[in-house]
Amino acid sequence: MKYPMVDLVGQYKKIKPEVDEAMLKIMNEASFIGGPAVKSFQKNFEEYLGVKHVIPCANGTDALQVALMALDLKPGDEVITTSFTFIATAEVIALLQLTPVLVDVEPDTYNIDPLAVEKAVTSKTKAIIPVHLFGQCAKMHELKQIAKKHNLFVIEDTAQAVGADYTCPKSGNTKKAGTIGHIGCTSFFPSKNLGAFGDGGAIFTNDDELAKKMRVVVNHGMTVRYYHDYVGVNSRLDSMQAAVLDIKLKHLDEYAQARLKAGKYYNNAFANNPKITPPYIAEDYTTHVFHQYTMVLNEVDRDGLMKHLADKGIASAVYYPVPLHLQKAYVDPRYKEGDFPVTEQLSKTVMSLPIHTELTEEIQKEITDAVLEFVNK
Ligand SMILES: *Cc1c(COP(=O)(O)O)cnc(C)c1O
């Protein structure tokens, strides 16, 4: 593809001398695991996020799993999450023998619908996992109110929205995505907004007790060397990943600006076109860091458009083609087709275009011209 979904090579070239030096240093020291690079990144990330504790781990899926493991839940306890997300969010709930309770999303932001969450709460509900999908925050204020009323934990899946700001409409306070609920979980998968050169993840919390427990859980449940108080996991961020992340963290706001600019360029190009509903930016309470640029196609042959773009060397993708409740591994008598109409409609009509930190207006013009040529024909 001439224009892939992300351009990680272009991004690397701009920080190459600094990254190469940091990598060589780790190789020369052989400080591969738990070296000073991990501590440094942890401290800098805590400062950036304005959060008391960052707990680095091996990937975003582990981050979600460890967060749930820290809550002392029992098999069969219910965790509410969105039907329109990457599978990892529900996977960890199922793996821990908890019950994923899925709910529909809002048609404009594609994020979990607080009204649907409220309706799904039962006496077994213990937690809510909102996902800040594609780069903007879910309605955390409303979700936190529901959580408070029913005594639930809120775990934010901020794998796609690291660096986004959420402003509470009531208090006017602004916080970073992932630091609003009890626990935040993120991923450093290479194509994420803060991407490593391999796998990585982190958990955020302001709660000292939860932090203490999660630090033990990620390290085999070990409190004192070879004394294990909990069944834990082995989930570490390695030094090379931490070193890259520490360098990229300094550029994260700049990266977010570049993505937002690109998102707005697309939005302008598609404004007022009846065939395209561009993504809505809920500016009154969240910034959008455009992990994905995902639009809704109105009566457009999606496969045809994707082929038309591919023929011109332009990548496109569908996030996500199958809602969670219709996934084979998650078939459940509680759910059937038609239960989550917004999610189901989105899965049939959304399409994502390349968005990353290296896009130029010239490239974007080629992309939007190619999209418009097909949808207007
Ligand atoms: C990427 C992603 C994850 C999982 O992260 P990994 O690091 O790949 O395990 C979880 N949730 C969402 C919404 C994601 O986009």
DSSP, residue by residue, 88-130: HHHHHHHHTT-EEEEE-B-TTT-SB-HHHHHHH--TTEEEEE-
**What is the rounded average pLDDT of the residues 359-366?**
98
At position 47, the amino acid (one-letter code) is: E
How many C-beta atoms lie closer than 10 Å to residue 352's C-beta?
A: 19
pLDDT at residue 331 in the model: 86
Q: How remote is the CA of residue 224 from the centroid of ligand 1, in Å? A: 31
Computed over every residue of the chain, the mean pLDDT equals 97
Q: How remote is the CA of residue 370 from the centroid of ligand 1, in Å? A: 30
Pairing of strands 350-353, 153-157: unpaired
Q: Which CATH number fits domain 8-104+111-249: 3.40.640.10, 3.10.20.30, 3.40.1180.10, 2.40.50.140?
A: 3.40.640.10
Q: What is the pTM of this model?
A: 0.97
Residue nearest to atom 3 of ligand 1 (CA): 60
How many C-beta atoms lie closer than 10 Å to residue 5's C-beta?
A: 18
Percent of the chain with pLDDT over 70: 100
Q: Mutual orientation of helices 252-270 and 361-375 as an angle, nearest 10°?
A: 30
**What is the rounded average pLDDT of the residues 217-240?**
95
**118-156 pLDDT tens trace:** 999 999 999 999 999 999 999 999 999 999 999 999 999
Measured distance CA(163)–CA(258) in Å, rounded: 13
The DSSP output letter for 314 is B
Q: How remote is the CA of residue 280 from the centroid of ligand 1, in Å? A: 22
The phi and psi torsions of 278 (rounded to 5 degrees) equal -70, 160
**253-285 pLDDT tens trace:** 999 999 999 999 999 999 999 999 999 999 999
Query: Would the CA dihedral through 158, 293, 111, 280 be positive or negative?
Result: positive
Percent of the chain with pLDDT over 90: 97
pLDDT at residue 95 in the model: 96
Q: How remote is the CA of residue 191 from the centroid of ligand 1, in Å? A: 10
Q: Element (H or E) spanning 82, and its range?
A: strand 78-82
Do 84 and 323 contact (CB within 8 A), yes or no?
yes
The phi and psi torsions of 294 (rounded to 5 degrees) equal -120, 120
Q: How remote is the CA of residue 74 from the centroid of ligand 1, in Å? A: 24
Q: In what order do the strands lie in the sheet with 293-297?
A: 276-277, 293-297, 350-353
Residue nearest to atom 6 of ligand 1 (CA): 60
pLDDT for residue 296 is more than 90: yes
Q: Work out the pLDDT band at 353, boundaries 50, 70, 90.
A: very high
Q: How remote is the CA of residue 342 from the centroid of ligand 1, in Å? A: 22
**What is the rounded average pLDDT of the residues 46-56?**
98
Residues lining ligand 1, CB < 6 A?
Answer: 59-61, 85-86, 88-89, 131, 157, 159-160, 187, 189, 199, 201
Alpha helices in 170-220 (DSSP H): 208-217
Task: Classify domain 252-375 by CATH architecture.
Answer: Alpha-Beta Complex (3.90)
How many C-beta atoms lie closer than 10 Å to residue 304's C-beta?
A: 11
pLDDT at residue 182 in the model: 98
Query: Which atom in ligand 1 lies closest to the alpha carbon of residue 61?
Result: 9
pLDDT for residue 35 is more than 90: no
Q: Where are the domains of the chain?
A: 8-104+111-249, 252-375
Query: Which atom in ligand 1 lies closest to the alpha carbon of residue 291?
Result: 15
Do the domains 252-375 and 8-104+111-249 match in fold?
no
Measured distance CA(220)–CA(206) in Å, rounded: 22
pLDDT at residue 3 in the model: 97
